[in-house]
Amino acid sequence: MSQTRVLAAGAVAAMLSIACSAPSFPPPGSVAEVADRIDALRQELDGSPGPLPVSFAAAGTATQRVPVELLADGFPEAPDLDMSHPVFVAEWPSGSQLVVDPGLATRACPDFGTPAEWVGGEEIVCAGERDPWAERIRPDSVAAVVFSHLHVDHVSGLSEICRLCGDVPCQVPVALSSLQETSDETHEAAGRGWLDEADVAGCIVPTRLGAEAQDDGRPRAIAADLPGAFWMPLPGHTPGSQLTFVFRRVEGELVGYVIGGDVVNYAPAICEDGHPKPWLYRTFVVREDEERQAWNRALLRELDARGYRVLVNHHLDAERTEGRLCPPGEAGQEALGQIRSIETGMPVMKAWLLSGS
* Site residues (vs Zn ion, CB under 5 A): 153, 262
Coil/strand/helix, residue 333: helix
| Cα separation, 315 vs 155, whole angstroms | 18
Min. distance of Cβ 147 from Zn ion in angstroms? 10
Contact 78, 274 (CB under 8 A): no
Min. distance of Cβ 13 from Zn ion in angstroms? 32
Residue 309's identity, in one-letter code, is R
Residue 197 CB: number of other CB atoms within 10 A?
Answer: 17
Min. distance of Cβ 175 from Zn ion in angstroms? 19
Q: Where are the alpha helices (DSSP H) in the chain?
A: 3-20, 31-46, 109-118, 133-136, 152-155, 158-164, 178-182, 186-200, 279-280, 290-305, 329-338
Contact 150, 158 (CB under 8 A): no
Give the pairing type, strands 55-66 and 97-100: unpaired
Min. distance of Cβ 32 from Zn ion in angstroms? 28
Min. distance of Cβ 275 from Zn ion in angstroms? 17
Give the pairing type, strands 220-221 and 204-209: unpaired
- Backbone φ, ψ for residue 170 (5° rounding): -140, 160
Min. distance of Cβ 252 from Zn ion in angstroms? 34
Give the pairing type, strands 142-146 and 97-100: parallel
| Residue among 312, 307, 354 nearest 43 (CA) | 307
Contact 309, 325 (CB under 8 A): no
| Cα separation, 259 vs 245, whole angstroms | 6
Per-residue CA distances from 309 to 209, 214, 287 (Å):
24, 25, 28
Q: How far is CA 141 from the centre of its chain?
A: 22
Residue closer to Zn ion by CB (options 91, 262) is 262
Min. distance of Cβ 44 from Zn ion in angstroms? 31
| Cα separation, 171 vs 204, whole angstroms | 5
Cis ω before 132 (30° cut-off from 0): yes
Residue closer to Zn ion by CB (options 147, 247) is 147
Min. distance of Cβ 152 from Zn ion in angstroms? 8
Residue closer to Zn ion by CB (options 112, 245) is 112
Give the pairing type, strands 55-66 and 81-91: antiparallel
Residue closer to Zn ion by CB (options 96, 313) is 313
Residue closer to Zn ion by CB (options 185, 262) is 262
Min. distance of Cβ 153 from Zn ion in angstroms? 4
Angle at 66 between CA 100 and CA 337, to 5 degrees: 95
Residue closer to Zn ion by CB (options 153, 302) is 153
Residue closer to Zn ion by CB (options 92, 147) is 147
Residue closer to Zn ion by CB (options 91, 160) is 160
Residue closer to Zn ion by CB (options 84, 96) is 84
Min. distance of Cβ 85 from Zn ion in angstroms? 7
Residue closer to Zn ion by CB (options 91, 101) is 101
